[in-house]
Amino acid sequence: MKLLTHNMLTSHVRGLKPGGGFPLQIQASEVRVRPVPFNADFVARLVPRLHWAALLQAAESLPPEPSPGYEEDEAFLRRLHHLLLEVEVLEGVLQCPDSGRRFPISRGVPNMLLSEEET
């Protein structure tokens, strides 16, 4: 699971307070860094869709928010690229901040299935 995906996933357990399911807390037991060819245009397109605060929680090397003109700031885009696309959680757990429900990640794939009672 890449951090880009983590930035967009939410818990959907029944009875959560509004927005209570996001962001999921990552507890990783195995992480891999896998190079992906850098594509500045793609990373720049992602910026408006990201939830920056959630990304900051997952990473330390970023500024408090994207500065104007980020589309041309290659150093920034490369750091963002690395974080969003090259870091993969292979094994671990995503924990719902509100309910505590744990969603497992195995072989890089998060399992988001809930039972009927939970939804």
Partner 1 sequence: MARAASLLPRYLLLLAQEHLEFRLPEVTSLLSLYGGQFSSEQEIRVNSPFWILNIPSEEMARGLMKRTVCAKSIFELWGHGRSAGELYAALKSYPMERMLPYLQSDSTYKVRIHSFNKTLTQAQKIQKIDALEFLPFKGKVNLKNPEHIFWILEDYGMDPNKVPEEPFQLYFGRWIADGQRELIESYSVKKRHFIGNTSMDACLSFIMANHGRVKPNDVVYDPFVGTGGLLISSAHFGAYVCGADIDYNTIHGLGKASRKNQKWRGPDENIRANLRQYGLEKYYLDALVSDSSRPVWRKGMLFDAIITDPPYGIREATRRTGSQKEAVKSAERRWVSCPENHIFVSSSYHLSDIFFDLLKFAAEYLVMGGRLVYWLPIYRPEYTEDIIPCHPCLKLISNCEQMLSSHTSRRLITMEKVKEFKDQDQNSSSLDGQYLPYRGHNSFREKYFSGVTKRIAKEERDNQK
The 8-class DSSP code of residue 47 comes to G
Q: Under a CB-based contact definition with an 8 Å cutoff, are residues 98 and 25 in contact?
A: no
Give DSSP secondary structure letters for 24-40. PEEEEEEEEE------H
Counting every residue written for the chain, the total comes to 119
The 8-class DSSP code of residue 16 comes to P
Touching partner 1, residues 37-76 (CB under 8 A): 37, 39, 41-42, 45-46, 49, 51
Is 104 among the residues that bind partner 1 (CB under 8 A)?
A: yes
Site size toward partner 1, by CB under 8 A: 34
Q: Give 22 or 70: the residue with its C-beta nearer to partner 1.
A: 22
Q: Report in angstroms how near the CB of residue 23 gets to partner 1 at its nearest.
A: 8
Is 10 among the residues that bind partner 1 (CB under 8 A)?
A: yes
